[in-house]
Amino acid sequence: MLKLCIKNLMKSVNAFLLFSIITFAIFQLVQAQDQSGFVSLDCGLVPKNTSYTEKTTNITYIPDTDYIDSGLIGKINDSYKTQLQQQTWTLRSFPESQRNCYNFNLKSNSKYLIRGTFVYGNYDGLNKIPKFDLHVGPNKWTSVKLEGVANATIYEIIHVLTQDRLQVCLVKTGKTTPFISSLELRPLNNNTYVTQSGSLKSFARVYFPHTPSFLRYDKDIHDRSWFPYVDNQTKSISTDLSVNTSNTYDVPQPVAMTASVPANASQPLTLNWSLGDITAEAYIYMHFAEIQELKDDEIREFNITYNDGKIWYPYFRPKKLRITTVYNPRAISSPDGNFNFTFVMTGNSTLPPLINGFELYKVLNIRQLDTDQNEVSAMFNIKTIYELKKKLSWQGDPCAPQVYRWEGLNCSYSDSEAPRIISLNLTENKLTGTITPEISKLTQLTKLDLSKNDLSGEIPSFFADMKLLKLINLSGNPNLNSAIPDSLQQRLKNKSLTLILDGQNPTLEKEKTKVPMVAIGASVAGVFALLVILAIFLVLRKKKQKSSAAPGAPSVTHGIVKSENRSSNPSIISKDRRITYPEVLKMTNNFERVLGKGGFGTVYHGNLDDAQVAVKMLSHSSAQGYKEFKAEVELLLRVHHRHLVGLVGYCDDGDNLALIYEYMANGDLKENMSGKRGGNVLTWENRMQIAVEAAQGLEYLHNGCRPPMVHRDVKTTNILLNERSQAKLADFGLSRSFPIDGECHVSTVVAGTPGYLDPEYYRTNWLSEKSDVYSFGVVLLEIVTNQPVIDKTRERTHINEWVGFMLTKGDIKNIVDPKLMGDYDTNSAWKIVELALACVNPSSNRRPTMAHVVIDLNECAALDNARRQGSEEMYSRGSIDLSHNSASEFAPGAR
């Protein structure tokens, strides 16, 4: 949160005497830069086709009329206009309905800075400052708290869109009326401000100029708001030379060309603040550039520490006239909500520390999932087609949060999947025209009530394709043609659907279905004869195929030779093929049995050719899309190994995407470690076997494939066990080909699972096979300890750090899973832990290859085998390098 009223900032940053900023500072700007992608709404601006360029920022503002269909227009008192920018002179208020939302059609997975500005200005003559909430999508963003009648309050958030549609909502929480003065969206580079989860609420964004002035566009091409900080313990230095700000954060030149240094050069530089919430998590971004001309014997080097001397970044030297951004890749927190950073000269340094810019964000956890994107689009189209804009509750997300669900809807809710619409009641809504096909996009619909309207045209045949639809009420529509399509009649006949017309459920009249018995008999006899002939033909053809095939020859499908050891079910694996959606419905018995749920979608049990399969259906709300689906199909159609889950087939049938795998009867490794699979504890022998087999599958991807593959999502939930507890690596949707022309890495958007994600890959976007090695190292530590990867209740949050910390006490028993009751080989335990810690080394160059990992794991298994056979073979344990584990979870990256 950034406020023009400085009062709250004074509370948050105890070490600074902040310069009071009551209004926007007015300063001269050069010609406006490109504003493509900007959305700048002056709320309440009329008439509809009006636009203007604000004088101090050169930003072009437009009315908000096209983005919202509710609210009243207001104007602030004229006496306040002179001290405020033009976009705050008008506003839109919302006296009706509890939630009112702005709607934007954008692009999913895009990152935006969203800014709302609020100036009350006694627009309603009540002289009573309102209080209300601000939401982004179905999740609360913040509570709007205004400090005065004429003070402008700004709230900013950095948010990644989960859908192609964004909603910003004002929510009434008391007796006062919500309002908004301006709403602005600014696209950001997706590689900046990366979080492991959640969005970022701006808490502070500051720089250190000689003359305090508020800074934004067009000095900042992303239109971020920068506030000046003034402190009597520091002084500002500057340069007239341009600074290279070409890293991904695009720091403005006025920020880069100025810096803060201690007023007393012998003293450290200190930054303090309080988040005001002991549960809050934060991300910090520090921007540094050397802006002074250093003499040959001058050095500027300093250590950055936090909270009483813990190392944040040691021996840092700012680059000459070039910005370096230092940030933490994981969110940080503090037991009391207070933080302090200290910048201290090292023994080598002759100059004091400096800093050019500082940004602090609080994490906003996004817990409520948006309604399925296709269903959201369908509902908004239905709203437009039937002119339902006056339905007060039809604002924002149709299903979420549940308390603001649209009138007439019922939805299903799940912790891991997007809400889905299961019933729609539009009775007595004065609907006219035909029944829109948009309704067919509500694929989970079970009940539809369109009764007592003025609909016309035909009863649509698409109702027959809505497999879950059980009841349709079309009564009370006198102009609707009551003829029932043939496809719909079939569903009525088998009683899988009830259709109400004029208050009754129509049945197929006997007179219409009467057929002479002779004709029926002849038809039945003819069909029977055809079936007999077809059966004889198929039997003869099958015998002919068997006699012509060479004994033991592998079958070939789509040009791929099938190996007998590919799966425990070779009879079905030899039938790799494209499968239709009706076949998927049949093999799963209409998705009767759920095996599990994940980011891709739901996995169902199925039967194909008398063998069990697992059918993974792509959810329309899944973060993984067609690109990941296609990648996994293409990979598994050409990759075959006994420790990679085999692909039986795939469905690419319109909107229905599915992967059909061999069935892994014993679930995933995580379930087995937790005891959820029957409560049995995996023995040390089982764990060694699983580790070796999973490593062999991963090693094959790295070295046995052409081109080599990087899995990118190695974790315990992606290691599956068959009926013999044989381990196989699964889920290849994020896998990527690896260059074989001598390059050691590729550049790609970061993907993976928090906790398992290689920190070097996270910081640099450079992907290599060593990224998989890091993830596998985390898996090994889980196998040994049976501890969660991330546990905020532990003294060390991440399992890597916790193991390193516990091993400083010198006893392997401190970390091995106590459920084993001591039944394991100590030497093999030491060796596997050493191997795991080598795998999770922060530097990829110091990690082993998967080939080396396989060799070492086989040695671990051999040690345990020797113990079980009674011959104790000692393993000489060397010193474990724990230096890489001493790094704090707050350890920053730099760009």
Place of tokens 């208020």: 93
Predicted confidence (pLDDT) per residue in 136-190, tens digit: 999 999 999 998 999 999 999 999 999 999 999 999 999 999 999 999 999 999 9
Per the CB < 8 A criterion, the answer to whether 420 and 402 are in contact is no
CATH architecture of 205-364: Sandwich (2.60)
Secondary structure (DSSP) of 513-554: H---HHHHHHHHHHHHHHHHHHHHHHHHHHHHHHHHSPTTPP
Highest mean pLDDT among 255-264, 509-518, 523-532, 864-873: 255-264
Residue ranges covered by each domain of the chain:
31-188, 205-364, 373-506, 559-662, 670-894
- Phi first, then psi, for residue 425 (nearest 5°) are -120, 105
Mean pLDDT of 628-640: 75
Q: What is the pLDDT of residue 552?
A: 30
Q: pTM for this structure?
A: 0.58
Q: What is the pLDDT of residue 519?
A: 42
Q: What is the pLDDT of residue 12?
A: 34
Angle at 314 between CA 308 and CA 318, to 5 degrees: 120
Place of tokens 């910390």: 805
Predicted confidence (pLDDT) per residue in 43-67, tens digit: 999 998 899 999 999 999 999 999 9
Q: What is the pLDDT of residue 514?
A: 39
Q: How far apart are CA 626 and CA 570, in angstroms?
A: 28
Mean pLDDT of 665-694: 87
- Residue 462 pLDDT more than 90? yes
Strand, helix or coil at 852? helix
Q: What is the pLDDT of residue 337?
A: 85
Secondary structure (DSSP) of 648-676: EEEEEETTEEEEEEE--TT-BHHHHHHTT
Radius of gyration of the chain from its Cα atoms, rounded to whole angstroms: 32
Whether 205-364 shares its CATH topology with 373-506 is answered: no
CATH class of 373-506: alpha beta
- Residue 571 pLDDT more than 50? no
Amino acid at residue number 739: P
Mean pLDDT of 787-791: 94
Secondary structure (DSSP) of 382-428: HHHHTT-TT-TT--S-SSSSGGGPPTTEEEE--SSS--EEEEEE-TT
Strand ranges (DSSP E) for 161-301?
165-172, 179-180, 182-188, 199-207, 227-228, 234-238, 258-262, 269-274, 282-288
Contacts of 26 (CB under 8 A, 6+ apart): 56
In this structure, are strands 611-618 and 601-608 parallel, antiparallel, or unpaired? Answer: antiparallel
Structure tokens at 388: 């339902």
In this prediction, residue 359 has a pLDDT band, given cuts at 50, 70 and 90, of very high
Secondary structure (DSSP) of 98-122: SEEEEEEE--TT-EEEEEEEE--TT
pLDDT, the chain, mean: 83
Which is nearest to 722 in space by CA: 696, 695, 698, 689?
689
In this prediction, residue 869 has a pLDDT band, given cuts at 50, 70 and 90, of low
Angle at 477 between CA 474 and CA 481, to 5 degrees: 85
Does 670-894 carry CATH code 1.10.510.10?
yes
Structure tokens at 880: 């474990």
In this prediction, residue 230 has a pLDDT band, given cuts at 50, 70 and 90, of confident
Q: What is the dihedral of CA 710, 713, 716, 721, to 10 degrees?
A: -60
* Fold (topology level) of 31-188: Jelly Rolls (2.60.120)
Mean pLDDT of 124-129: 95
Per the CB < 8 A criterion, the answer to whether 592 and 634 are in contact is no
Quote the crossing angle between the two packed helices 826-839 and 850-868, to the nearest 10°: 170
Strand, helix or coil at 611? strand
Q: What is the pLDDT of residue 342?
A: 94
In this prediction, residue 535 has a pLDDT band, given cuts at 50, 70 and 90, of low
Q: Confirm whether 652 is a catalytic residue.
A: no
**Superfamily classification of domain 559-662:** Phosphorylase Kinase; domain 1 (3.30.200.20)
Q: How far apart are CA 794 and CA 789, in angstroms?
A: 11
Q: How far apart are CA 159 and CA 109, in angstroms?
A: 9
Catalytic site residue from 713, 731, 817, 825: 713
Structure tokens at 847: 């990690």
Burial 566-580 (b: 16+ CB within 10 A, else e): bbbbbebbbbbeebe
Question: 447: annotated binding-site residue?
Answer: no
In this prediction, residue 738 has a pLDDT band, given cuts at 50, 70 and 90, of low
Q: How many C-beta atoms lie closer than 10 Å to residue 701's C-beta?
A: 24
In this prediction, residue 536 has a pLDDT band, given cuts at 50, 70 and 90, of low
